[in-house]
Amino acid sequence: MAITFKQVDFTYQPGTPFETKALTDINLTIPDGSYTALIGHTGSGKSTLLQHLNALLKPTSGTVTIGERVITPETSNKDLKKLRQHVGIVFQFPESQLFEETVAKDIAFGPQNFGVSEADALKTAAEMLDLVGLDQSLLDRSPFDLSGGQMRRVAIAGVLAMQPRVLVLDEPTAGLDPQGRLDMMEMFAKLRRERDLTVVLVTHQMDDVANYADHVIVMDQGRVVKTGAPREIFKDPQWLVAHQLGLPKTTAFAQQLIDRGWQFDRMPLTEDELAADLIAQLPATAFGGAPTDDE
């Protein structure tokens, strides 16, 4: 399901003394099946934009097209539910949205709101638990007994249980340990492959952008300042610094090498790419050649 923004403006509390403009003239497309990363400095309007993706907020002017549905400032709040089923949003720290007595009931809550019978929803809940890598024994536990990482997985399972076609993730790995972070990012990549999802990821982790995304949208002060493939975005370190963003570790390292006279045909994004490029450039003697004097 593709999502298109056309000349979207958004203002909080319009017509009051506390009016603040959050989005200005947003034009962008999130292609069907893409893994889009939305990056930008804190307060650049990422989270506001994200809430337009399933019509939690409606534009003050302009249009948002979500699949077939067109959202304009005049769109009524009725029957937006269908839309919300197709676009699942995992908000920041989603563990704070858990409320049911058991994990199973909480995961089944979303589907039941969309008319799935209780028995079917509970069956889906059990499947979702496997998907997010939790043990079936947790199904009857209270969500408040779980650890922080487990709670987050349950919350994500609750969103996935609605079978969305677009999955929107707002900093899903914030506050997780490195292993949990890696597991979770791998889980999303796997889900995307298996279920043919469109993924939108809001993140400050440039490594994740480099490793997973195929489309990047850069925001600054409520405007989209650049869109393109990650390689294009990370090509220009000065520009990124000017917009208060950083480089992925790999690219930063490659940049240091470039400053010392190395050359790369393409900007390496992942560790594998960097390693391959480096090996190709090393003199043949470095591998299995005769031992050098200073050894």
What residues line the site for other proteins (CB under 8 A)?
A: 12-13, 16-18, 51, 54, 56, 81, 84-85, 87-89, 91-92, 94, 96-99, 109-110, 113-114, 144, 158-159, 162
Nearer to other proteins, 54 or 203 (CB): 54
Nearer to other proteins, 105 or 206 (CB): 105
R_g of the chain computed on alpha carbons: 22
Q: Least separation, in Å, of the C-beta of 213 and other proteins? A: 22
Nearer to other proteins, 15 or 178 (CB): 15
Q: For 290, which DSSP code? A: P
Nearer to other proteins, 110 or 172 (CB): 110
Measured CA to CA, the distance from residue 239 to residue 256 in angstroms comes to 16
Q: Least separation, in Å, of the C-beta of 291 and other proteins? A: 58
CB under 8 Å to 217, separation ≥6 — which residues? 28, 36, 37, 38, 39, 224, 226, 227
Q: Least separation, in Å, of the C-beta of 49 and other proteins? A: 14
Q: For 50, which DSSP code? A: H
Q: Least separation, in Å, of the C-beta of 108 and other proteins? A: 11
Q: Least separation, in Å, of the C-beta of 247 and other proteins? A: 31
Nearer to other proteins, 24 or 92 (CB): 92
